[in-house]
Amino acid sequence: MTGPAIAIAGLTACSGCQLTLFNCEEELPLVADRFHFAHFPMGISEAEECGPLDAAVVEGCVSTPEDLETLINLRNRSRLLIAVGTCAIWGGIAAMKNNESRKELAETIYGEAAHALRTFVPGPLHRFVTVDFTVTGCPPEKGEILATLSALLHGTLPVFPGYPVCTECRNRENLCLLIERNELCLGPLIQSGCNARCPAVSIKCEGCRGPASEANAAAEMELLLEKGFSRDEIVGRMRRFYPEWDHERRY
């Protein structure tokens, strides 16, 4: 069956978002039957270098000229461009050190070979092109990937909840790590969709899904300062996956 033509591509990233699709093992045969993969380097050997696309699904941030060229090419060919994962949406782990010298960071890792690198400060996709839809997470949830693909078959896009992880935590009747254990948990700020997987096993929320739609970072900051955490520690945690998060912002 020939369905919507889509591309799946990775820029500067760990490829975990693409692996999420491969982990949908039971659904993969149906996905392969319903879509025409015009470009998917991680999954297929052949690729179509030109021609229109119904959607381009892109993971990773932009940190090299090659990344930017790939992104612009896919944007120009695609009716919809979908950013997948916190790196594509917010900059993610790759952008954690954007406040430090790019040259010094490269030399620390690559030594003399750093001088031959063509790289610039990592940034999210929306800094360079128009993004039509996002699927957050590090990595995204399988269900949200499949829901997005399913919606594309019907010419639309899914609607995901905008409430924070705390809501899912309460629904599961978890012990509140922030209030009852005084841990640096970001549950009140972070986008739901993970079913509070980490807090359910007593692991504080690290913020890998990025901010919820009405995240009150300033209020969380005040609460955590009252609990004795340092401002540097709080800001470092908030900006781990969203390096440019304005932690003073109120809604």
- Quick check: helix, strand or coil at residue 54? strand
Residue at which a domain ends, from 153, 188, 215:
153
* 121/205 same-domain check: no
Domain ranges, residue 185: 165-238
Do 182 and 227 touch, CB atoms closer than 8 A?
Answer: yes
Separation between Cα atoms, residue 130 and residue 188, nearest integer Å: 29
Cα–Cα–Cα angle for 104, 109, 115, rounded to 5 degrees: 60
Indicate whether 84 and 207 sit together in one domain. Answer: no
Verify that 171 and 48 share a domain, yes or no.
no
* 160 belongs to a structural domain: no
The reply to whether 49 and 141 lie within a common domain is: yes
Task: Please give the order of strands across the beta sheet that includes 133-135.
Answer: 36-39, 5-10, 53-59, 78-84, 133-135
* Torsion sign across C-alpha atoms 27, 36, 47, 116: negative
**Do both 133 and 32 map to the same domain?**
yes
Which DSSP symbol is given to 47?
-
Question: Do both 137 and 220 map to the same domain?
Answer: no
Domain count along the chain: 2
Does residue 101 share a domain with residue 211? no
Regarding whether 28 and 142 lie in a shared domain, the answer is yes
Are 229 and 139 part of one and the same domain?
no
Return per-residue pLDDT of the chain as tens, 251 residues. Answer: 578 999 999 999 999 999 999 999 999 999 999 999 998 988 887 766 668 999 999 999 999 999 999 999 999 999 999 999 999 999 998 888 888 888 888 888 888 888 888 888 999 999 999 999 999 999 999 999 999 999 999 999 999 988 999 999 999 999 999 999 999 999 999 999 999 999 999 999 999 999 998 888 899 999 999 999 999 999 999 989 998 887 666 54
The model carries a pTM of 0.91
Half-sphere exposure of 232 (CA within 13 A, CB side): 0
Do 188 and 65 share a domain, yes or no? no
Residues 109 and 24 in one domain: yes
Are 23 and 135 in the same domain? yes
Q: What pLDDT is stored for residue 110 in this prediction?
A: 87
117, exposed or middle or buried, with CB in 10 Å at 0-12, 13-18, 19+?
Answer: middle
Report the pLDDT value the prediction gives residue 157, as an integer from 0 to 100: 95
